Structure 1
């Protein structure tokens, strides 16, 4: 870290909600506990149930791991901020929080893309599914997603650490996001912003296009199935993933389409809650409540 005037940052959180702090704290604590339990249950069921030992469920456990990582990175500190009307953390910890958050989001983008390819092969080329989506493919694609996101974002973290931070040291947000960190710097950040924009195209926009193309072929194939029951069965195998993708990209894009200054700042923070708090909460319910195999595995687990 360069020599600078900022060694600690103060996160304001939600300064206009003083009278609701206790209620918000309890509400978010419950959400955090349910999120952690839900994702741990998903991972446990897939690990112990033979009926869930398939590529699709293996990818679901990876999404659950990423949701646990991101939630643990953001929510405990958010609870502290709400309880104390703001919170202080070191600049190094602030940058690290952003790195873990960004790495989780990027990895999830890539794994959701792999899952769309898995659904494409299962529906559009079912006879070759076992030879294409094998154990080697699953493990390699997951390790590749985690490693690629880590290496790409590591360069950004190094660039951020090279900046001079001369203040102010106040961040009007509930976690250390990219733009609030750059606002603390007195260095020229235009090159980093350009670099991050390019990375965003590679790891967010391109995967989204791949998902759209995959589902275009999937929907076309489903519509060509003659029987209604066959169409319903085919669609049910990818409906949960499509729902998660819609929530993930919908909440993520809505945040960055809203200006982060002035009267829109509260709206931006509220929307940020969608993908940092709400999305990890919903994912386990989407995958389990709409999936017969998960329900059966849960019943067996209860009776053992």
Structure 2
């Protein structure tokens, strides 16, 4: 059996909603980890991912958090960290505030908000992390640069428009992750670049990697890996760029994709649609 590195997005890929893996997926991942390396790549905070892995799998794996701004190995050692420039983050917060968007900042792996509202509470519940309310997020970011900023809004069209505005007005990147989330990170940060860094540090080849995702923030990850797999519920943009699109949704698609790779049905350098291998 050829050893491989399997990289999994979490929300929308392994998890449909909530923060619990089903027993079939849990057992499948644990069996897979006996012969291969698993990496988890998420827009979530590091401690949110760590809590989930400890609870669901009983062990820690290498983690790419904050969409690539933070890489931590299985021992808890920080391998890479990138933050937004303090002045830029401050100005973005002021801009978001003027537009009336709910905004959050992540500083030293702690979640900060300006408003103790339902969006903050729902996010806290979903991610299984507490939050700290401050009077002025802009001032906080000026004092300590954040790993990322996040906007939450139910209107996807508004988020898409906002992403374009932010990228035109500030030296940042902005893209969707969860359907109601807009991630704001430094322009040189992505899950794909984080995978490159992790491969260099850990000494494995990108030719040995298989990545799974569902949303636009997974584009770089799927394009960096030797094989990029979009689960069946993925965005149309991601599906169009993936090497293979599963029929299965969420974790069922993950299992389907892994089995297709291990059986040799899906190989590097050849694109497969979901209907073309059935």
TM-score normalised per structure 1: 0.28
Question: With CA pairs under 8 Å and 6+ residues apart, which has the higher RCO, 1 or 2?
Answer: 1
| Bigger fraction of residues in strand | 2
